[in-house]
A and B are shown apart, each in its own frame.
Chain A
Amino acid sequence: MSDWSPFLGLPLWVWLFVIPTALAAIARLQRARLMPLLRRIWRVLDAVYLASGVLAAVFMVMILLLIVAQMGARWAGITFEGSTEFAGYAMAATSFFALAHAFSRGAHIRVSILLNLNSFTRMWLDAGAMLVAAIIATYFARYAVKTNFLSEMLNDRTQGQDQIPEWVVSFLSMFGTAPGNWGAIWEKTGDAWIYTPVWVPQLPMSVGTVLLAIALWDHLIRLLVTDETAIKGETVE
């Protein structure tokens, strides 16, 4: 368990798995009292899932534009360095950002044959499945974030020919540093283009998987508190 080093005095797995489960149990037991507070949180979270879905859609449009630009460049005889890598990054961004939004709209599929047996399984099998799924998603998110940090620490660069302006990297690293150090970041920043550091396109992976994990714990709590699933399914997409 070397990978689960203590954080604020408790092993990381307690924070990631035990505490959310405990929170879900408390929410179930105290549901009458917690309902007004929870409703406010749910409104905020719904907006967050939607916003991340919209961001995913923006990246999907970006894939289209990149590919059109690539075709245009080929016909014009210009080489568009790294266009396939950029399209790949946009692909990852659209997939990961949309995970939580797709989940909250019931787009992710599952085998529901046992779920539809009776009203007991519809409630408790669903809750069990959400708990298991939440644990898996949290595990997924934890390693996505870890890998993202490692890529930054090791200064991992792309294998392709894709380059991005250095200021983009500096701008994004502001979010991960204390405001006191921002000056130091910008002092080192030139107006050069550099080979893409892998951690930049990996950011959507971290954000998206963390949001998916939050969405799963959130919907588990909603199910336990309201006795009905909050996933607004659509029959056909």
Chain B
Amino acid sequence: MSELYATAIFLFAMFALLGGSVWVGLALVGVAYIGMELFTSRPAGDAMITTIWTGASSWTLTALPLFIWMGEILYRTRLSEDMFRGLAPWMRWLPGGLLHTNIAGCTIFAAVSGSSAATLTTVGKMSIPELRQRGYPEYMIIGTLAGAATLGLMIPPSLTLIVYGVSINESITKLFLAGVIPGLVLAGLFMTYIIGWHYLRPGERPKPEPSMSFARMIKDSRFLAPVMALVFIVIGSMYFGWATATEAAAVGVIGALALALVQRSLTRETFFASLMGATRTSAMIALILMGASFLSLSMGFTGLPRALAGWIDSMDLSPIVLIAALTVFYIILGMFLDGISSVVLTMAIVEPMIRQAGIDVIWFGVFVVVVVEMAQVTPPIGFNLFVLQGMTKHEISYIARTAIPMVGLMVLMVVILVIWPELATWLPDNVRQGPRG
């Protein structure tokens, strides 16, 4: 059988299994098995378990369930109410007013949770009714929320970055720190968009908020102080090298539990609900990672990654053209797959390619997160769209239309990252030396 023919079967099997709605993790195992049978005489099953066991029992991965758990605990507390009350006094002065609470709220929650859907629900639950009541236009409320919630994937802790780091064997701490500044820049872009709306569409402004004393502002923002403290402890301990990513996650879980306890929102039910919820989400991602580790083993035998890397090399592309091509590729992939699946599915092929082209892998991690973020808000499969549909009862198509400007801003973010790569690489390069990890 010719090599080309076998490759065609391999790729067809991948589309058939994933498109045929087989669960992603198991579909990857199936595709990898077919690849092993086609391209090598090594016993597939034994090689599969050796690879999967090594991956599934690795120390690096332990950051994943703990960060998920931390987000789950805070998701079930009264944090969302406090967030609106604490942020509103500061945002009312900005042009665009309380719409900024969507962005600021998502940024803060993103810094304690690695999931975009949890960020969206926590912030939206509170901000949608409040903003509607004050007469902000619906398309701005929904659009900015859909866009800003994707920050959950970028600002550490980020599940997508953990998965990326595990797939290519890079330091999770470095990846997390790389995500901080681009995440804030993207949040800045979203806020600029709201300010732009304020000046360009003066007719849509709601009436200004009544004035408020400074003492009252300080008093109301006390609700936010504990969460901000938690954010600084978790990110700071990684930056100063006091803790590895996993240890920072453990501190985060304990901090979140303490916060919920002080708030008196930690009941027996919420504790167990957060624990079981985190267990399920972590098992979901673990199964995808298991499939992905077997697939990258099998991919190695197919010779596809090497061939593609060689092809890219022979074309003598500039890195910018390569990045542009990959952006388009990930946007298309993201229309059908969620972020984590697209990362694990492509890494085996893309990693040799980018290393060949001399692109920094830490920088590339941030780039990948921005492009898969877009996938969250682009139809037909955009997870944030589904969540927002559930919350607002709008049509998917309407929500997707309101989010189009946000996708534009994310494309702009990719351009900014290409022009100033230091945004992503400066912080991790300056991290203090600490424990391994």
Q: A interface vs B, CB < 8 Å?
A: 3, 53-54, 56-57, 60-61, 63-64, 67-68, 70-71, 74, 84-85, 87-92, 94-96, 98-99, 101-103, 105, 107-115, 125-126, 128-129, 132-133, 136-137, 139-140, 142-144, 146-147, 201-202, 205, 235-237
Rounded to whole angstroms, the CA-CA distance of A146 and B100 in the bound complex is 56
Contact A109 B338 (CB under 8 A): yes
B91 on the interface (CB 8 Å rule)? no
Contact B250 A71 (CB under 8 A): yes
Chain B 282-315: CB-based contact to A (< 8 A → 1; otherwise 0): 1110111010000000000000000000000000
Residue count of chain B within 8 Å CB distance of chain A: 64
Contact B22 A91 (CB under 8 A): no
Q: A64-B66, A92-B56 are in contact. Are A133 and B23 (CB under 8 A)?
A: yes
Contact A87 B246 (CB under 8 A): yes
Chain B 268-290: CB-based contact to A (< 8 A → 1; otherwise 0): 00000001111111111011101
Q: Chain A residues with Cβ under 8 A from B290's Cβ? A: 95
B53 on the interface (CB 8 Å rule)? yes
Could you tell me the dominant secondary structure of chain A's interface residues?
helix
Contact B276 A132 (CB under 8 A): no
Of all chain A residues, the one with the shortest Cβ separation from B381 is A113
Q: A67-B62, A201-B57, A237-B117 are in contact. Are A61 and B275 (CB under 8 A)?
A: yes
B349 to chain A, nearest CB (A): 19
Contact A53 B276 (CB under 8 A): yes
Q: B interface vs A, CB < 8 Å?
A: 17-27, 29-30, 33, 43, 45-46, 48-50, 53, 56-59, 61-62, 65-66, 69, 117-118, 121, 243, 246-247, 249-250, 253-254, 275-284, 286-288, 290, 336-338, 341, 380-381, 386-387, 390, 435
Q: Chain A residues with Cβ under 8 A from B279's Cβ? A: 53, 56-57, 60, 94, 98, 101-102
A87 to chain B, nearest CB (A): 5
Contact A147 B50 (CB under 8 A): yes
B41 to chain A, nearest CB (A): 13
Contact of A94 among B20, B26, B58, B283 (CB under 8 A): B283
A138 to chain B, nearest CB (A): 10
Q: A95-B56, A146-B45 are in contact. Are A67 and B66 (CB under 8 A)?
A: yes
Rounded to whole angstroms, the CA-CA distance of A174 and B291 in the bound complex is 32
Rounded to whole angstroms, the CA-CA distance of A159 and B155 in the bound complex is 35
Contact B53 A205 (CB under 8 A): yes
A67 to chain B, nearest CB (A): 4
Residue of B22, B29, B43 ringed by the most chain A CB atoms within 10 A: B22
A113 to chain B, nearest CB (A): 6
Contact B23 A110 (CB under 8 A): yes
Rounded to whole angstroms, the CA-CA distance of A129 and B17 in the bound complex is 8
Residue of A67, A89, A102, A107 ringed by the most chain B CB atoms within 10 A: A67
Rounded to whole angstroms, the CA-CA distance of A107 and B280 in the bound complex is 6
Rounded to whole angstroms, the CA-CA distance of A115 and B381 in the bound complex is 12
Pairs across A and B, CB under 8 Å, 17 listed: A3-B43, A67-B66, A88-B58, A88-B61, A91-B59, A95-B287, A95-B290, A101-B283, A108-B24, A110-B23, A111-B337, A114-B20, A136-B29, A147-B46, A147-B50, A205-B49, A236-B387
Of all chain A residues, the one with the shortest Cβ separation from B49 is A147
Contact B56 A96 (CB under 8 A): yes
Of all chain B residues, the one with the shortest Cβ separation from A84 is B59
B77 to chain A, nearest CB (A): 16
Rounded to whole angstroms, the CA-CA distance of A53 and B277 in the bound complex is 10
- Interface contacts beyond A114-B21, A129-B20: sample of 14 additional A-B pairs, CB < 8 Å, sorted by A: A56-B283, A57-B279, A67-B250, A92-B53, A94-B65, A94-B279, A99-B286, A101-B280, A102-B280, A136-B22, A146-B45, A147-B50, A236-B117, A236-B390
